Amino acid sequence: MENEIILHVSKAKTGNDCFPSVTQALQSLPQDGSKPATIAIDPGIYHEKITVNRPFVTLAGCGAQASDTVLTYDDYANRIMEDGSKMGTFRSYSLLVDAPDVTLRNLTVENASGDSPTHGQAIALYADGDRLTVDSCRILGHQDTLFTGPLPEKEMVKGGFIGPKEFSPRLKTRQYYKNCYLCGDVDFIFGGAAVWFESCTIESLRRDGEHPVQGYVTAASTPKDQDYGYVFFQCRLISKDCPPASVYLGRPWRDYAKTVLIDCAIGPHIHPALFHDWNKEAARKTVFYGIYAGEEKEAFPERADFVQLLTKEQASAFSLEKTLAKAGG
């Protein structure tokens, strides 16, 4: 590739290669993707609905930490559209990545619409590009904070997939999240991608008063022919406000959901059964839910019978290289 394009986004600065919004900077790039491009974003709050649809783009916050540069919007599923219909989940995103080889670094992506009981699903990051890297970022929301595309082949409810990728081919994606902070309540990490989460902090937020189930961390929809779904490696699962045993690690959005945790620190908010079957009895035979906690053979004695306690040898099959080796592999 030819030399990299470097653009700047700033609320205060001006210049030929400096733009007041991320969207304007993206729109100025040649769309053929022949040159890699970095958009360096000054600290500040950027209230805009952003789409990255060009490959080899890096969005990089220029602050000392991810919280200094905030990309935020406030759409949500229950918002009433001009035609009287609801916006729905997949139009609610703040940032859509719809291209391969995109990197997000040192910034915050936020859906600021508010609590999930009132607003419903509200995606912060709609990630549907292969070889996506998200490094040292914060991804903030409540219900459905992070969607890792592709969509499942078929919707469960008519109109459930209305949005930018409703009629697109379901292309498998690989995604890598490192040193990130993610928060939410209901199914706040969901989708069909093969994803490696490394050294991330995953915080469950309190959702609804004294409800016995405050949320689910994941809802994978791993395609049947895909070997890897979600792998959490040396991550911390925390909650400041959820009562003990009120959050499950996941439930199957589709019947072949795959989610594995390796050497993770799990807080007391996680239910001792670990995963929930979402009342899908048949899915108990098709999901792959596993956890590795060293050589302790009696770990998680109350785990559900469809959750595997992995041996060291079994856990070694879930490495970064293998998980992200090839789309669909």
Tokens of 227: 């070997």
Q: In the prediction, which pLDDT does 218 show?
A: 98
Sign of CA dihedral 133, 62, 237, 296: positive
Q: What are phi and psi of 180, to 5 degrees?
A: -105, 160
Q: How much is the mean pLDDT over the chain?
A: 95
Q: What is the pLDDT of residues 200-214, one digit of tens each?
A: 999 999 997 778 999
Burial per residue of 248-268, b for 16 or more beta-carbon CB atoms within 10 angstroms, e otherwise: bbbbbbbbbbbbbbbebebbe
Report whether pLDDT(329) > 50: no
pTM score: 0.97
Q: What is the pLDDT of residues 115-172, one digit of tens each?
A: 999 999 999 999 999 999 999 999 999 999 999 999 999 999 999 999 999 999 999 9
Minimal CA–CA distance to 246: which of 281, 217, 224, 287?
A: 217
Q: In the prediction, which pLDDT does 2 show?
A: 62
Helix (H, G, I), strand (E, B) or coil at 161: coil
Minimal CA–CA distance to 318: which of 267, 237, 263, 277?
A: 263
User: Which CATH architecture fits 39-323?
Assistant: 3 Solenoid (2.160)
The residue type at 39 = I
Burial per residue of 110-129, b for 16 or more beta-carbon CB atoms within 10 angstroms, e otherwise: bbbbebbeebbbbbbbbbbb
